[in-house]
A = this chain, B = another copy of it.
Amino acid sequence: MTETANAAVATTGTSVMDAAQGTGSPGRAALLRALEELAREQGVSNVGLREVARHAGLSHAAPTHFFGSRDGMIRALAFEGLQLLDDELCVAQERDAQLPGRERLVSDAMEFVAFAQRHPAHFDAIFRTPSAAAGDDSLDRARRAALDGLRALVMEVHAAGDISGDVETVFLQLCTLSHGIASLAVDGLLKGFDKVPEGPNVSAEVVERIIRAQVAQLP
């Protein structure tokens, strides 16, 4: 039983996504909440297995029981985060369905950055701890699937004639730009720039200015 625990959970669900929350024993959920809270302050890769257990009020071996290993625990948080990301992006796309095409692109990219700032621990686990996910292709697939929503939106806006140019390149531009903003914002590395006010997290206005400039410039 090296990592069968989460592997089983990951392949049992109906969709690829509902792996994390699926069958939630109270202990398991408490551990994930503790991990999230600690990782939000220290970064995922700096939280310890036993620290999480202590914070959740359980014995030091509880995490390995549920997740198989420390990496398994982080993977579980990543899956939970992908589910969350998918949900939030879906409701945002619904909400903005009647906006003009380019506005929908702006909104979607902003929503991605907002997700990273709302759930920094999840964001970290999903996109910035690939070492913990090495050899787990299910996470790779889930990660890619979560981005398909944005890809589809780009194609839709392109088909409607609101933008032109190569669809995949536009998609890559939006992905990398959003990821860059989110990463820098979460790490507090955007603080030193002009026009970026200090504060707990980067204001949405700055994010919006960057993304809006980007989208407005699309061919």
Contacts and interface: CB of A to CB of B under 8 A. Distances in A.
Given A168-B195, A180-B178, A173 B210 contact: yes
A176 B181 contact: yes
Contact of A179 (B131, B183, B209): B183
15 contacts: A42-B131, A127-B189, A128-B187, A130-B187, A130-B189, A169-B210, A170-B213, A171-B193, A172-B196, A172-B206, A173-B214, A175-B193, A176-B181, A176-B210, A217-B218
Number of copies: 2
Looking at chain A's contact residues, the main secondary structure is helix
Contacts of A175: 180, 184, 193
Contacts of A183: 128, 179-180, 183
B218 A193 contact: no
A177 B214 CA distance: 10
Interface residues of A, number: 44
A-B complex: 8 closest residue pairs judged by Cβ atoms = A180-B180, A217-B217, A176-B180, A179-B180, A45-B45, A144-B192, A176-B181, A130-B187
Contacts of A196: 172
